[in-house]
Chain A
């Protein structure tokens, strides 16, 4: 097991009070596997990712409880100095916006060399060659020329590929991709996803893929975890989960993906709003919006039930379907 997150709780102190951004999240990723983390804005996806790196906004954010085991070592208890070695070398990250992901005052070569040097590579010629290789590995044409280019001279897709090259330059074990294609042109998105998949296969990376796009999940991921209001409500292999989503939230989410075939007069949506994270309901967090909600749902948070091979859902209805 490459990464195992156990009962992770991360809290943020805001002016509205204590926000339980990550509230008991558990999941695991194996070497070479991609886990998709799906959920709407504010469901705690990005906070979960930042918790893994121990980069929660300081001093407001703090991991309260739980374990993050990377190759068996608990990252939560590591010192800041030890974490600096983990960041970049073992876990790396790609962010959403390629426009601001590169430092505008340095050319691409400098930034790549910086990353390679942090990983311990030495020697001018050697570094240059490694940087060129890194660009070639993300399919940048004419890499030798591109090393001298500045970020503002490149397109968004090109920049995001360079960001990718930088984050894998140190040969990490785990790559966190936080909506890496959201800011890209639709025509470039697919190209970039295929590239990521290719790199992942070549390097045997474990990947945590954060997105809100089920289409991308279907293409990229082996397993999916659906997050709602700080908790994972359903997790399972992509195929099983897409075929038979068990949690009403997952079902509603999938139903609201617009179908391209046929005419629709109204796009389906989920009634109501997600709960405010500083005033969570006592029972199931989705109960106020759930059309199956009963008395028990409002009183008690549902346990997690296995509904198939590695497929679990946190819903009382899943208990019924099992028996």
Chain B
């Protein structure tokens, strides 16, 4: 009888959990992320000007709310008279594109290496992890600069550079997780039931490290955006005139005393977006934690 009564109780618990979780959703970061995505996708509709069109008579106009600012240029213009608002809008595209491609390639490579290393153990593990260590000892920006110089600046180079940097971070964390998962009995039982190693990695190990992987992804979006901005800031990123937030900060640096908005506004944009993704990642980690699930 007790067994029959059990499912009803559990259903209530599940509903209760869903209600509770909705209340705790990280609304602030979700709104920022949503705005970012919408802006990036519909950039041509949202931007008031072309991001690359120069107009020297209008150069260094302050934002609309400051003395001397006009309705024409909402966030002012840069030293070439380009509309700052429109450049920020198009810059969101660059940031998101780089983040998406770099995370996808770097993340997947890291995931695969981590699972293979953790599951195989022994010499394979030792070898792969030494490669990871070697990768991690290089300063991030140095690798990226080297690659940018040798491959030529551009979107593709940035994606490759960031992939090279982040795969090792993914691999290391995923491997650690796999070490924990593979000692559990269901892995041994899968062997007992005649599964091959490849099948065990794909069917039993992979889904168990997906939580960690998703959290890693979100926590690294911020990192990737910063690396892209840093590279563009150093001149090894997206070549002008394509707007990129990092490059905008770099360009505005020399005018910081006279035209603060040039460096400050893209800087604030980077900060908000990175913060939003990190908050979302934190929330996701808590939400996916199996220990909290089992309550």
A residues apposed to B, CB below 8 Å:
53, 55, 59, 84-89, 91-93, 95-97, 100-106, 114-115, 118, 140-142, 145, 149, 152-153, 158, 163, 166-167, 170
Partner-binding segment picked from B184-192, B219-227, B264-272? B184-192
Which residues of the other chain, B, contact A118 by a CB distance below 8 angstroms?
193-195
Q: A100-B185, A103-B186, A103-B204 are in contact. List 10 more A-B contacts (CB 8 A).
A: A87-B193, A88-B193, A88-B194, A93-B189, A101-B186, A101-B189, A105-B210, A115-B193, A141-B3, A142-B7
CB distance from A113 to the nearest CB of B (A): 12
Which residues of the other chain, A, contact B10 by a CB distance below 8 angstroms?
149, 153
CB distance from B209 to the nearest CB of A (A): 10
CA distance A118 to B191 in the complex (A): 12
CA distance A89 to B10 in the complex (A): 35
Which residues of the other chain, A, contact B139 by a CB distance below 8 angstroms?
none
CA distance A158 to B10 in the complex (A): 15
Nearest A residue to B207 via CB reads A105
CA distance A158 to B192 in the complex (A): 21
Which residues of the other chain, B, contact A96 by a CB distance below 8 angstroms?
185
A152 B293 Cβ-Cβ under 8 A:
yes
Q: Does B97 contact A (CB under 8 A)?
A: no
Which residues of the other chain, A, contact B290 by a CB distance below 8 angstroms?
104, 152
Q: Does B150 contact A (CB under 8 A)?
A: no
CB distance from A160 to the nearest CB of B (A): 11
Which residues of the other chain, A, contact B7 by a CB distance below 8 angstroms?
142, 145, 149
Nearest A residue to B10 via CB reads A153
- What are 19 residue pairs bridging A and B, where the CB atoms are less than 8 Å apart in the complex? A53-B191, A55-B191, A59-B122, A87-B191, A87-B192, A87-B193, A93-B192, A95-B185, A95-B189, A101-B189, A103-B186, A118-B194, A118-B195, A141-B4, A142-B7, A149-B7, A149-B10, A152-B293, A158-B3
A104 B208 Cβ-Cβ under 8 A:
yes
Chain B interface main SS type:
helix
Task: Give me the 6 closest cross-chain CB pairs, A-B, nearest first.
Answer: A88-B193, A88-B194, A87-B194, A100-B184, A141-B3, A100-B185
Which residues of the other chain, A, contact B208 by a CB distance below 8 angstroms?
103-105
B residues apposed to A, CB below 8 Å:
3-4, 7, 10, 122, 184-186, 188-189, 191-196, 203-204, 207-208, 210, 290, 293-294
Nearest B residue to A60 via CB reads B122
CA distance A85 to B196 in the complex (A): 11
Partner of A92, one of B184, B193, B207, B293: B193
CA distance A170 to B64 in the complex (A): 74
B196 A84 Cβ-Cβ under 8 A:
yes
CB distance from B129 to the nearest CB of A (A): 18
CB distance from A180 to the nearest CB of B (A): 11
B185 A101 Cβ-Cβ under 8 A:
yes
Which residues of the other chain, B, contact A85 by a CB distance below 8 angstroms?
194
A84 B194 Cβ-Cβ under 8 A:
yes
Residue from the set A87, A89, A96 with the largest chain B CB neighbour count within 10 Å = A87
A97 B185 Cβ-Cβ under 8 A:
yes
B192 A163 Cβ-Cβ under 8 A:
no
CA distance A86 to B293 in the complex (A): 37
CA distance A115 to B293 in the complex (A): 26
CA distance A88 to B189 in the complex (A): 9
Which residues of the other chain, A, contact B184 by a CB distance below 8 angstroms?
100
CA distance A106 to B189 in the complex (A): 15
CB distance from B201 to the nearest CB of A (A): 13
Partner of B188, one of A92, A95, A141: A95
